[in-house]
Structure 1
């Protein structure tokens, strides 16, 4: 009887050890990835203006826009999204409409524990911390492979624009690009109006992980206050 109990205890110990190891691995997940952000120029109608110079400038701006890169750093509960340092050092000097539409110098923080979803932006030399509303998703059964990851489709509910995301349940975090998050897996691809986001260089074992901390420096605004304060200047 004592031998049987000892065997049971050993088995229970092994099971608990295995569960603890898995739990630690899930809680310690971290990574960094690059999103290639591109603009569908065909979605823009040709701008016609009474001033031919204005029309030419706007149409040239659309024509000459090019793809940009943004970085998502994340752990199990938090993520931080920002423009790539390579992009910051880009010496082209001309305006890039894709970069502007993708968020430019804005940064984005997400915390899955308290559902914080904020955008940090600078206007006129002043920082603002804007709380973004929770994204309401509808999960679909459609699936496809993105690289080595099986991904499932989701769409945003009650939205005037077509927003489609593809997320990977095997990467068990609910983060994504820009302010899009809340899915049961990391978002690897997203189509939002005229912009497309595609994950590249997914690194789940980075040698060095950027510290992720909640933004605290800046005037705090709700999204409604933000829209009221700035009107359509920063319409998304």
Structure 2
């Protein structure tokens, strides 16, 4: 039965594709972070500290975004709100530096333009929309007043996307040290006063599975952020630990924001931006090592 509903909705959507479709979709972002996995379960982080860090992460990651779209174009932005509570300025700057700003997509030209701020400098990143090999299914559920169908795909991860960071498995470091240097050298290494680089404690997966729920009732091949390419608007998106759920849709709004590419920042390609981020991250790590782990942070960009 679900299969026939899917086919009917697809045929219905094709019938109205010629119409002038526009709208605004509001997405609520939720991200889960397992602080115990980063040492909290071994007495390395107190309950009070875990609570404080958890609150900062919640403030930084739980946001509302608005996708303003028509048949071929869209602009995706965070909804401006007052800060809910105090957040460490350094933590806030770190999180915002690795999070895209306004994102413009053009499905006709297959182009995406992002407005990013990285450690105090503005960049305008241009790239092609990443084409995912979506596998659609007949599995469906109701999201608001719309019937949504499930699709999955594997997505390559930007090596600088620290929102995807996960703790490294502990098994190999001690075992490798014993195999390569012997037990005695491993103990010496353990007792060393050399500070541990926090970046050595995490890893970023090379690819992840993405699950999307789309509705043919809104026949635009668009969705939140960089995601697109399904026969209907994406209403829910699950990417690793983050879920984006559409909470409201306004079709053909009278006062919608004008859809146009952002213009603020130095124009760079995706490859150039990845190189800039890597070089700055390497600089921060080197500063950390040279400062003896005191957290001294490097300055911004020159010029």
8 A Cα contact 1:32 1:73, kept in partner: yes
1:36 corresponds to 2:33: no
Report the CA distance between 1:147 and its aligned residue.
1.7
Query: What is the Cα deviation at residue 225 of structure 1?
Result: 1.9
Corresponding residue to 1:155 among 152, 155, 158? 152
Secondary structure, aligned partner of 1:227: helix
Paired residues of 1:151 and 1:166 also in contact (CA < 8 A)? yes
| Contact 1:83–1:105 (Cα < 8 Å) also in 2 | no
- 1:94 corresponds to which of 87, 90, 109: 87
Deviations 1:74-120 (A, max 9, x none): 111111111112x2x235232588xx48x757111111110112221
Gaps of 5+ in 2: 1-14, 157-206, 282-303
- Aligned partners of 1:179, 1:41: CA distance in 2, in Å? 22
Query: Using the alignment, how far apart are the partners of 2:273 and 2:266 within structure 1?
Result: 11
1:150-185 C-alpha deviation (Å, 9 max, x unpaired): 212222235422211111111111221121122221
Structure of higher RCO (CA pairs closer than 8 Å, 6+ residues apart):
2
Q: Could you tell me how far 1:72 is from its partner in structure 2? A: 1.0
Counterpart position of 2:131: 135
TM-score by length of 1: 0.74
Give the conservation status (yes or no) of the 8 Å contact 2:28–2:246. Answer: yes
1:205 maps to: 252
With structure 2 as the length reference, what TM-score do the two structures score? Answer: 0.59
Aligned mates of 1:51, 1:42 — CA distance in 2:
15
CA–CA separation in structure 2 for the residues paired with 1:57 and 1:92: 16
In 2, Cα distance between equivalents of 1:181 and 1:59: 36
Instruction: Give the drift of 1:43.
Output: 8.1
Alpha carbons of structure 1 residues 56 and 49: separation in structure 2 relative to 1, 3 Å: farther
Residue pair 2:155, 2:208 contacting (<8 A) in 1 also:
no
Structure with the bigger percentage of strand: 1
User: Secondary structure at 1:203's aligned position in 2?
Assistant: strand
Moved over 6 A (4+): 53-56
RMSD: 3.5
8 Å Cα contact 1:49/1:55 also seen in 2:
no
Q: Contact 1:30/1:74 (CA < 8 Å) preserved in 2?
A: yes
